[in-house]
């Protein structure tokens, strides 16, 4: 019974379900933050400057798109302003500042989120980064 409950909880905690419950503007903001923390990790690993620049630009264009989308949703800019620090704290822990074990535990969902962001970015004309 516990196994079934655990599997159920895992199955409902996917990024796709999260996206169905939050405005697209928040998803775009979340993708902006994900690109930002991926850039931090890439810099820590001494990745090439061209890769760092693309991640930085990706974060910026997702953030800009989040503001535009929020406006279309009838949300003030402050909505995104207030979400970004909360999302940064969440993703920093999941990708950068968490323990190795925590980061490893989040990795499958983190990869799902990066796939989601890639898909959302293509759909919104944000990606590929040039």
Express each pLDDT in 24-56 by its tens digit. 999 999 999 999 999 999 999 999 999 999 999
Residue 96 falls inside a structural domain? yes
Answer left, alpha or beta for residue 32, where phi above 0 means left and psi between -120 and 50 means alpha.
alpha
The pTM of the full predicted model, rounded to 2 decimals, is 0.83
pLDDT of residue 130: 74
Which two tokens mark 23? 């405005």
Residue 116 falls inside a structural domain? yes
Residue 104 falls inside a structural domain? yes
Q: How many CB atoms lie within 10 A of CB 28?
A: 25
Axis crossing angle, helix 100-123 with helix 49-72, rounded to the nearest 10: 60
Structural domain containing residue 89: 25-123
Residue 73, SS3 per DSSP: coil
Question: Rounded distance, CA 56 to CA 38, Å?
Answer: 9
What is the total count of domains within the chain?
1
Q: Is the bond preceding 91 in cis, omega lying within 30 degrees of 0?
A: no
Residue 4 falls inside a structural domain? no
Residue 32 falls inside a structural domain? yes
Residue 17 falls inside a structural domain? no
Express each pLDDT in 61-103 by its tens digit. 999 999 999 999 999 999 999 999 999 999 999 999 999 999 9
């Amino acid at each position: 019974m516990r196994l079934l409950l655990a599997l159920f909880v895992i199955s409902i905690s996917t990024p796709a379900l999260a996206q169905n419950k939050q405005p697209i503007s928040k998803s775009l903001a979340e993708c902006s933050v994900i690109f930002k923390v991926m850039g931090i990790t890439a810099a820590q690993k001494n990745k090439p400057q061209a890769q760092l620049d693309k991640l930085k630009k990706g974060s910026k264009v997702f953030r800009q798109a989040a503001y535009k989308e929020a406006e279309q949703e009838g949300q003030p800019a402050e909505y995104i302003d207030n979400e970004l620090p909360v999302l940064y704290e969440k993703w920093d822990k999941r990708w950068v500042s968490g323990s190795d074990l925590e980061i490893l535990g989040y990795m499958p969902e983190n990869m799902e989120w990066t796939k989601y962001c890639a898909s959302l970015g293509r759909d919104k004309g944000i990606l590929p980064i040039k």
